[in-house]
Amino acid sequence: MMIPNGPLCSAPGLRIATDADMRDLGRELAALLRPGDLVILTGPLGAGKTTLVQGIGEGLGVRGPVTSPTFVIARVHPPLAGSGPPLVHADAYRLGSIAEVDDLDLDADLASAVTVVEWGEGLAEGLAENRLEISIQPAWDSDVRTVRLTGHGARWNAVLTGQAINGNSTKF
């Protein structure tokens, strides 16, 4: 685990071989996610961004199905039962500016929901100082993908380095 000075923490790449493994990773991440969390996903078309979000949705126990919001730009998936957070799943692929992201009013739900933005790099970072950025890169010669988690801010630095958060030790 690389721990640079300051609030940024980047984990080494995780090798993910199948779609089922990617959904499993999403379920594991969901256990760490809290209302107010922002996750920004990057990677080429077909890398597995939506598949990861499907796992996050399953882990959060939200109403689905979780599908790519490319044409509707954003979907809200409320929890099935209980008091879990809703999942706001946005796709910034068709957006060309920070102003267009701002027009989605994602910040209106940010405090009470887990917000995941596909293709959000360079557009959605201003929504939250504490955020998790996930890069998914397919191998050129196989179906294996390398997933890198980069935490920004004190919360994600603590999560990714296994420091105690609210009395609970976590490590990814």
Per-residue pLDDT of the chain (172 residues; tens, 9 = 90+): 233 333 444 456 889 999 999 999 999 999 999 998 999 999 998 899 999 999 999 999 998 788 776 666 677 788 887 778 999 888 876 666 565 656 565 665 667 889 898 877 766 777 778 899 999 999 888 889 999 999 998 888 888 887 644 444 444 4
Quote the CA–CA distance of 137 and 126 in Å, as a whole number.
24
On the 0-12 / 13-18 / 19+ scale of CB atoms within 10 A, 146 is: middle
- What is the architecture of the domain spanning 31-162? 3-Layer(aba) Sandwich (3.40)
